[in-house]
Amino acid sequence: MVMESRGTWATFTLRCAPPAPPPWSLGERRGASSTRVLLTFALTLAPVERKGSAARGTIQPVLFDEPEAPPWMLHLSRDARGFLVPAEAPWNADGSAALAEMDVDRALILGFHRACAVCGYSLNRERPVFRAFSQGDAARIRLEQSDMAPEFSGPVHRSCILFSMIVCPYMREPTARLGKQSKIKPGGRRGTRAAVMGFDDYVVMMADAATDEPPIQFGFVKLVEDRPYKHGIELLPDLDLAVQDDSKRIDVANTRPLYWPGGGRPESAIRGEARRLAQRVRPIDTPFAGATIDGVDYNCYELPQRYL
């Protein structure tokens, strides 16, 4: 990834190994449903292979006592297995949630409105935003992308990401790996030391080409917190502290989260809202920096307001 300054920003260059080409663009579809991308990691659930399992590439039941979810996650629907469904997860036509995937349209709406990709409540502008990464991805960010880390999934509250990593079958155990059906990392291992990482802020990265549906991802700016862990259960003390801290800033009583469970808002309306937001950002804001990722030129936009 190469970053070039614009305006009054100082020139700087990041020499980074480019991420794998995204298997999607906003114009690609899966039937009549919203645009989706299979995650290399999941917030709550990913296809995981386990040694000795009867059916390779399938999720096997694991005895696990789920910690109490933060109050701002209690409105989330649960799938048939009892897993909470994050705000950025897509829903199938039959009303079931696809927890191993991310809905690009939902992620874009949440990101543009500065809302958490898990719970859907607003993110405080004065607090760091978070994501979690496998061992390999975390190492790359530390060494090469600490100033700007590109990511297709949106920002998350610290408490929400910690809870998700404690319960996610892929992210909570060092021996877990993605299923062979993964389009990005078939059979990819989580690694011994995954990490929850906090960033000073995030920007929206839109392809420089003037198209109706440009590829979009998020750029996480300036790594400020790095919490490596081996087993998800190690994060329980961190979760308790994060819930206490986030409870001072997330107003559950007087605000409504952005959340669209299956059978709720029509998928066509969600797609239309994502397109409207993507098309509005160009004439409203001036990009403060540019980035080239895997041969695609992006403009980076700050989000000083909610795009309503």
Residue 40 contacts residue 49 (beta carbons within 8 Å): no
Q: What is the DSSP letter of 93?
A: T
What is the C-alpha to C-alpha distance for residues 292 and 128, in angstroms, rounded to an integer?
25
| pLDDT tens sequence across 31-84 | 333 344 444 333 434 444 444 443 444 444 444 568 999 999 999 999 888 889
Residue 204 near residue 112 (C-beta atoms within 8 A): yes
End-to-end Cα, the chain, rounded Å: 31
Strand 216-229 with 148-151, pairing: antiparallel
Nearest CA among 38, 293, 296 for reference residue 144: 293
**pLDDT at residue 304 in the model:** 53
Q: What is the dihedral of CA 163, 166, 168, 173, to 10 degrees?
A: 160
Length in residues, the chain: 308
Token code pair at residue 7: 């305006």
Instruction: Note the pLDDT of residue 158.
Output: 98
pLDDT score, position 48: 42
Q: What letter represents residue 15's amino acid?
A: R
Whether residue 163 contacts residue 68, with contact meaning beta carbons closer than 8 Å, is answered with no
Buried b (16+ CB within 10 A) or exposed e, 145-161: bbbbbbbbbbbbbbbbb
Q: Which amino acid is at 59?
A: I
Of 126, 177, 194, 128, which Cα lies nearest the Cα of 156?
A: 128
- Which pLDDT score is estimated for 80? 84
List phi, psi (to 5°) of 198: -110, 145
pLDDT attached to residue 267 = 83
Mark out the alpha helices in the chain (DSSP H runs). 104-112, 135-144, 158-167, 236-246, 267-284
pTM equals: 0.77
* Pairwise CA distance, residues 86 & 43, whole Å: 7
* Tokens 């389009």 -> residue: 183
The list of the chain residues with pLDDT below 50 reads 1-63, 212, 214, 283, 306-308
Give 251-305 as a DSSP string. -TTT-------TTSS-HHHHHHHHHHHHHHHHHH---SEEEEETTEEEEEE---S
Question: Are 222 and 197 in contact, with CB atoms under 8 Å apart?
Answer: no
DSSP 124: P
CA separation for the pair 158, 210 (Å, rounded)? 35
pLDDT in tens, 125-157: 899 999 999 999 999 999 999 999 999 899 999
Give domain limits for the chain: 2-301
Res 204: pLDDT = 87
Contact 275, 106 (CB under 8 A): no
